[in-house]
């Protein structure tokens, strides 16, 4: 799919068909922005896109004004690498419920992607929202820097992060 010219939003949450399985990769987010309706984010943009590969994406999604990424990558299967996830500007995000997990699929971020997320997102410091709940399934993190980053998010910022713990 080439989103360079016009694609800005789409949502698979209501799709029970196989169309959501046809999306194989995103190489560039381009102008894509998580779907919003009346200023409120419509969640689950990529729900059930089980075959979607985000390991080669070269930029970050436009999250300006977005407050929720709940169910955003819901129902992924296998280990998923999300390139540049640590660079996503999540400073306005207040909801990450089931961001990457539906409790029935074995989906998980790779350890490297999860480390990148923790380290990158915690670097926003005081600009981050307090009290965010984030669900990451069985994703694991590793290393002193990732452990410190998670500690900052859960301690200082009061985030609740459900994950698979350290490796």
pLDDT exceeds 90 at position 137? no
DSSP assignments along 93-134, one per residue: --BBTTSS--SSS--EE-HHHHHHHHHHHHTTGGGSPSS-EE
First-residue to last-residue Cα distance in the chain: 35
**pLDDT for the residue 10:** 54
**Of 26, 31, 25, the residue nearest 8 (C-alpha):** 31
**pTM, entire model:** 0.82
Encode pLDDT of 93-132 as tens digits. Answer: 998 887 776 555 556 788 999 999 999 999 999 999 999 9
């Amino acid at each position: 799919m080439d989103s360079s010219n016009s694609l800005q939003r789409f949502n698979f949450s209501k799709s029970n068909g196989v169309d959501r399985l046809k999306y194989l990769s995103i190489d560039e987010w381009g102008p894509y922005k998580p779907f919003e309706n009346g200023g409120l984010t419509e969640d689950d943009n990529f729900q059930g896109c089980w075959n979607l590969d985000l390991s080669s994406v070269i930029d970050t999604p436009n999250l300006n004004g977005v407050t929720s990424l709940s169910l955003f990558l819901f129902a992924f299967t296998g280990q998923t690498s999300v390139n540049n996830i640590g660079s996503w500007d999540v400073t306005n995000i207040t909801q990450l419920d089931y961001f990457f997990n539906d409790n029935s699929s074995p989906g998980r971020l790779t350890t490297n992607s999860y480390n990148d997320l923790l380290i990158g997102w915690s670097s926003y410091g005081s600009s981050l929202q307090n009290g965010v709940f984030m669900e990451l399934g069985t994703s694991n993190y590793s290393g002193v820097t990732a452990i410190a980053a998670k500690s900052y998010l859960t301690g200082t910022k009061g985030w609740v992060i459900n994950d698979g713990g350290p490796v």
